[in-house]
Amino acid sequence: MNHSNIKSHDQGKTNGQMNCPNCEQPIAVTFESLLVAGKLVCKNDECNTVLQLNRANSGVAINAIKTLKSRLSDLGH
């Protein structure tokens, strides 16, 4: 499969974005923050909410991210 639709992203750079469920500020998401740290941290100084990834209940999604990360790596991103 040609993955030309996958945006070019260097390792460690933002892979996605979500809004903090506490303060609604955008949280930049990297694959490392999900796969390695297992948590996301809101950078809003007045919030600093830590979202702890529930690995046990997110297994399929985590595997999908691993696959995508691997393909990005193969593509040289």
Partner 1 sequence: MADFDLMELISAPIIAMNEAESDNAARFVELLNEFAFRKNEDTGESVLEKLKFSFDRVDPDGQTRTQNVEIPLIHFLPIGGIAIDQATLNYALKLDPQGDTDPNGKLRLKGRLADSSEKETGLSGNVNIEIKLKQIDLPQGVLSMLETTQSATVQTEKEKAPQEPLPIIPDDFVSAQLLELAPRYIEAGQDNMTTILFEFDDAVLTNQSHIDFELSSWPKSALEFEDKNTFSMTRRGKQQIQFLASPIIDEYSSKTDIKLRILARVRAADGDIKEQQISIFLPRSKDAETPALNLSKDK
Binding site for partner 1 (CB under 8 A): 1-7, 9, 14-19, 21-22, 29, 34, 39-40, 49-54, 57-58, 60-62, 64-65, 67-68, 72
* Closest CB to partner 1 among residues 17, 74: 17
Single out the residue of 29, 25, 30, 34 nearest to residue 53, CA to CA: 34
The two tokens of residue 62 are 């985590």
The least distance separating partner 1 from the CB of residue 44, rounded to whole angstroms, comes to: 13
Residue 29 has a CB neighbour count (10 Å cut-off) of 16
Closest separation between CB of residue 69 and partner 1, Å?
10
**Inter-residue contact 64 to 35 (CB < 8 Å):** no
Rounded to the nearest whole angstrom, what is the least distance from the CB of residue 12 to partner 1 in the complex?
13
